[in-house]
Amino acid sequence: MTRVVVVNAFERGNRGDAALLSVLLDQIRRALPGARIAIAGFEHPARWPEFEGVPNLGSFRRYSGEEDIPRLRRILRKLSLLPVVALAAARLPRRLRLAAARLLPAEPRRELHALATADLVVSLGGGYLNGRANFASDLNILFLLLPLWLAERFGVRVVTGPQSYGPFPRRLQRVLVRHVLGRADAVLVREDISRERLTEIGLPPHLLTRSVDSAFAFETRSDRDWRTALAVPADARIAMVTARQWLDDAGQHRYERALAAGIRHLLGRGYHVVLVPQVTCAFQGDDDRRVNTRLAAGLDHARLRVLGDDTFDHRDARALYAEADLVIGTRFHSVIFALTAHVPCLAIEYEHKTAGIMRDLGLAEWVVGIAEVRETTLPALLDSLVDHRDDYRRHLREVLPPYARRARDLRHLLDAA
């Protein structure tokens, strides 16, 4: 029986990442029928013991980064994992590595044992492997790469799911990425910018496979009747908006003022507007409801809806965006969910993945940078989007089928296995 470990899975409160995990599990099952799969993710295994029937082991990263414990304990946990880093770096026989692992706490010991006994390790796709010029980013990149590094030390095949990479402003970050990804069996990148960045830091071009964000392969059903739940008439036009906390105080204020101006403009054109929390994660307070609450405070209108709960999952989210007539999306997986339902989108870019993927689809004109969007210009952009919505939908019907087929390509899993 083939044993597969999926690493670097995040929280299901990030509905885009949950969709990526759902697609990956389906692809593994189709590529490797009967495979025994485990997830080493960021969800607490006691609270979330499984995802779609696959057991969750917890992970080094979750164990060392848990925010619900005192800071001193977090520091001690990180220190307790130094032997894991040493195991990855040392050239010890496999038997000695496994013997040393018995000294670890239970959760990291589970992940290490799973990595040592796997036939294939797959790092979930997304946009998480990047850094800033500080020690915290160095540490984050180390813990993201650590399971891949260990798997390679144990002689296990390693594949990375389609993701965005960089920037890596510090030399240590570039050395770690080059050292670990350079020994993988396949590195999938979801836009050209990431491929260029990895080539620049020394990864050989033949190792890098140009791929497509797995969310384009996410096909699911939801029984939730969103129009009834939102009290929106069947014939009403709906605009959906996703926002996030990203900039410094002054920049964030400008961005939110611009969004408010765009929402106000759409309400004036007769749209029902829904503020959607695409991400509701406790980790580092990454919860879109905080921004949505601020936006709604200055927009008292009968046709404004604020989706305040976090009970809907990634399947419900995709069905939600399919009800829209247009989407203003800062969270890029909200844009992908909408595009796959042929809904015109204006994408607000906070990382290079947005421009890269929209350029792939011939939609670069419908991207605006989060630091550049302004209350004086957003209404005009939305008017243009409304005026071109039929052409936009026709374009999506032409370009999406072949693009989505690339997201369903299983060759990298089959080749590695």
Q: How far apart are CA 396 and CA 416, in angstroms?
A: 33
In a domain, 286, yes or no: yes
pLDDT for 269-289, tens place per residue?
999 999 999 999 877 778 999
Residue 90 shares a structural domain with residue 132 = yes
In a domain, 221, yes or no: no
- pLDDT over 80 at 196, yes or no: yes
Residue 364 shares a structural domain with residue 394 = yes
Residue 57 shares a structural domain with residue 20 = yes
In a domain, 234, yes or no: yes
Q: What's the mean pLDDT in 295-322?
A: 89
pLDDT band at 219 (very low <50, low <70, confident <90, very high): confident
- Among 176, 211, 246, give the residue marking a domain's end: 211
- Among 180, 211, 242, give the residue marking a domain's end: 211
What pLDDT, on a 0 to 100 scale, did the predictor assign at position 99? 66
Please report, for the domain that includes residue 232, its CATH number: 3.40.50.2000
Handedness of CA 323, 275, 285, 378 (dihedral sign): positive
Residue 204 shares a structural domain with residue 305 = no
In a domain, 218, yes or no: no
Cα–chain center distance at 148: 18
What pLDDT, on a 0 to 100 scale, did the predictor assign at position 312? 86
pLDDT band at 127 (very low <50, low <70, confident <90, very high): confident
What is the chain's mean pLDDT, rounded?
90
pLDDT band at 90 (very low <50, low <70, confident <90, very high): low
- pLDDT over 70 at 260, yes or no: yes
pLDDT for 4-20, tens place per residue?
999 999 988 899 999 99
Q: What's the mean pLDDT in 57-86?
A: 80
Q: What's the mean pLDDT in 23-36?
A: 92
Ranking 47-56, 88-97, 241-250, 286-295 by mean pLDDT, the lowest is 88-97
Residue 245 shares a structural domain with residue 136 = no
- pLDDT over 70 at 249, yes or no: yes
What pLDDT, on a 0 to 100 scale, did the predictor assign at position 120? 95
Q: Please state, as a whole number, how many other Cβ atoms lie within 10 Å of the Cβ of residue 293.
A: 14
Residue 290 shares a structural domain with residue 376 = yes
In a domain, 76, yes or no: yes
In a domain, 409, yes or no: no
What pLDDT, on a 0 to 100 scale, did the predictor assign at position 106? 84
What pLDDT, on a 0 to 100 scale, did the predictor assign at position 416? 62
CB burial of residue 408 (10 Å; 0-12, 13-18, 19+):
middle
- pLDDT over 70 at 93, yes or no: no
pLDDT, greater one: 100 or 51: 51
pLDDT band at 109 (very low <50, low <70, confident <90, very high): confident
- Among 154, 184, 211, give the residue marking a domain's end: 211
Task: Provide the number of structural domains found in the chain.
Answer: 2
Selection from 399, 349, 367, 408 nearest residue 164 by Cα: 349
Boundaries of domain holding 101:
3-211
Please report, for the domain that includes residue 102, its CATH number: 3.40.50.11930
What pLDDT, on a 0 to 100 scale, did the predictor assign at position 104? 77
In a domain, 217, yes or no: no
Residue 234 shares a structural domain with residue 331 = yes
Counting residues of the chain whose pLDDT is more than 90, the rounded percentage is 65
What pLDDT, on a 0 to 100 scale, did the predictor assign at position 397? 96
Residue 387 shares a structural domain with residue 274 = yes
What pLDDT, on a 0 to 100 scale, did the predictor assign at position 101? 66
Q: What's the mean pLDDT in 126-148?
A: 90
What pLDDT, on a 0 to 100 scale, did the predictor assign at position 332? 92
pLDDT for 331-350, tens place per residue?
999 999 999 999 999 999 99
Q: How far apart are CA 359 and CA 194, in angstroms?
A: 14
Q: How far apart are CA 23 and CA 317, in angstroms?
A: 15
Residue 306 shares a structural domain with residue 329 = yes
In a domain, 143, yes or no: yes
Residue 247 shares a structural domain with residue 182 = no
pLDDT band at 308 (very low <50, low <70, confident <90, very high): confident
Selection from 156, 53, 79, 158 nearest residue 113 by Cα: 156
Counting residues of the chain whose pLDDT is more than 70, the rounded percentage is 94
Q: How far apart are CA 318 and CA 341, in angstroms?
A: 8
Q: What's the mean pLDDT in 227-247?
A: 92
What pLDDT, on a 0 to 100 scale, did the predictor assign at position 87? 66
Residue 141 shares a structural domain with residue 253 = no
Residue 291 shares a structural domain with residue 190 = no
- pLDDT over 90 at 415, yes or no: no
Helix, strand or coil for residue 209? strand
What pLDDT, on a 0 to 100 scale, did the predictor assign at position 171? 95
Do 306 and 276 contact (CB within 8 A), yes or no?
no
- pLDDT over 90 at 57, yes or no: yes
Helix, strand or coil for residue 388? coil
